[in-house]
Amino acid sequence: MKSKNELGELIRAVHFAADKHRMQRRKDVEASPYINHPIAVAHLLSEEGGVSDLITLQAAILHDTIEDTNTSHDELVRSFGRDVADVVLEVTDDKSIPDRVERKRLQLVNAPKKSARAALVKLADKTCNLRDIRATPPANWSLERKREYFEWAKKVVDALPAVSAPMLMAFNASFELALE
């Protein structure tokens, strides 16, 4: 069990992410609260992956804050320390690149270079995305668009460093179900 201090630090990351994502919604028909996604990523790492490393779990909760909110790397360094901030930055797409196709290509190129913590967060993120797309897909996504995402996500995951057999099993099971 985590110490009281570690639990407090994890809850502080959840609070921070909830505040940053408070106005955001997922693209599903129900427009689910966005914060459900980073919480699901951390939950997957903890429950199915057996991950108990505080830095990895905080980074999972915060993984979309730089990419999708007005949060800066420096703000994360001040709030959670350099280790957490660096993992978040490592899994962040560069939104200054306007072309979505290029950003996706760069995820493939950069996947093998990820640290173990970043690879865990990326793997959990892709797994949760597959599960979400299968259960509550974006409203305007065709079957073909979903399949394209599944295939691309598999390529990214296959390029990541091998960091966790349980997490890879979770991804592969989600991938197989997603293609049904």
Judged against a pLDDT cut of 80, whether residue 1 lies above it is answered with no
Judged against a pLDDT cut of 60, whether residue 46 lies above it is answered with yes
Q: Which residues pair with 138 in a beta bridge?
A: 28
Judged against a pLDDT cut of 70, whether residue 75 lies above it is answered with yes
Residues tagged active-site: 67-68
Q: What are the extents of the domains in the chain?
A: 4-178
Q: What is the mean pLDDT of residues 95-99?
A: 91
| Residue 118 near residue 91 (C-beta atoms within 8 A) | yes
| Residue 93 near residue 82 (C-beta atoms within 8 A) | no
Question: Any idea which fold 4-178 has?
Answer: Hypothetical protein af1432 (1.10.3210)
Q: Provide CB contacts within 8 A for 86, sequence distance 6+.
A: none
Q: Determine the Cα–Cα distance for residues 127 and 129; give it in Å rounded to an integer.
A: 5
User: Which pLDDT value is given to residue 71?
Assistant: 97
Q: Determine the Cα–Cα distance for residues 116 and 95; give it in Å rounded to an integer.
A: 23
| Residue 63 near residue 88 (C-beta atoms within 8 A) | yes
pLDDT, tens digit, 9 for 90 and up, residues 129-168: 999 999 999 989 999 999 999 999 999 999 999 999 999 9
Name the residue with tokens 């994360």.
Answer: 76
pLDDT, tens digit, 9 for 90 and up, residues 2-34: 677 999 999 999 999 999 999 999 988 888 999
Q: Which long-range contacts (CB under 8 A, 24 or more apart) does 70-76 make?
A: 70/20, 71/20
User: Which pLDDT value is given to residue 129?
Assistant: 96
